[in-house]
Amino acid sequence: MFHDPTSHTGPTGTTEGTGMATLITRHNMSVSAEDPAIALDSYPPLDTHIGPVIGNALRDIAATDTGVVYISTIQNMAHILVTVEVWDTEPKSDPAREGWHVLPTMDVEWPTRAVMLRAPYDVAGPNASIELPTTGLYRVSVAHRGRDEASERDRQLNQRLDALSLAEIRQVTSEYHDLEQYLIRMWRHAAH
């Protein structure tokens, strides 16, 4: 479930420098972590057997298949900040320099230009719609930060859960909303 209506499309046409990649679109959303996962998938959703993708994401944090990027989050109590960027070519900036843990780059075939960012088990719930420049093969880079800290805060909360009221639980989780963050970067990729 998506919590924060402050999601927005960021500046387009932002370049990293002469001859460098150009940012086509950026979406920032604060996602309610009721499901310990985030999905970026084709719209309308494909009738795909998602089981193997979920298994791979549980092992590797993120996994892809045709028309889907699936991310396994570390906790399901506080909101999670997700940024999706679509670039014209591979961006040269390195998120690791800003404290991100960058996962190995993956490929995903997008059969539609319309892509939704959503909680995977809440198909009817709120989502963000992203328009890709074209269908086809894309490279996807997923980076994360704040997972360890959010996991520790979640663990501490779970130890006290029975002693807290619902209002107190909401107060405690609000203190670490958006601590767990994901950066998803995509760019068109030609198959070799």
pLDDT band at 2 (very low <50, low <70, confident <90, very high): very low
pLDDT digits (tens, 9 = 90+) for 128-153: 889 999 999 999 999 999 999 999 99
Averaged pLDDT score across all residues of the chain: 84
Q: What is the pTM of this model?
A: 0.86
Give the angle subtended at the CA of 41 by the CAs of 53 and 82, to the nearest 5°.
Answer: 95
Give the angle subtended at the CA of 125 by the CAs of 49 and 113, to the nearest 5°.
Answer: 60
| pLDDT of 5 over the 50 cut | no
**Do residues 75 and 163 make contact, with C-beta atoms less than 8 angstroms apart?**
no
Q: Indicate left, alpha or beta for 187 from its phi (over 0: left) and psi (-120 to 50: alpha).
A: beta
Q: Domains of the chain (ranges plus CATH)?
A: 8-188 (2.60.34.30)
Residue 150's CB is within 10 A of a number of other CB atoms, namely: 24
pLDDT at position 33: 64
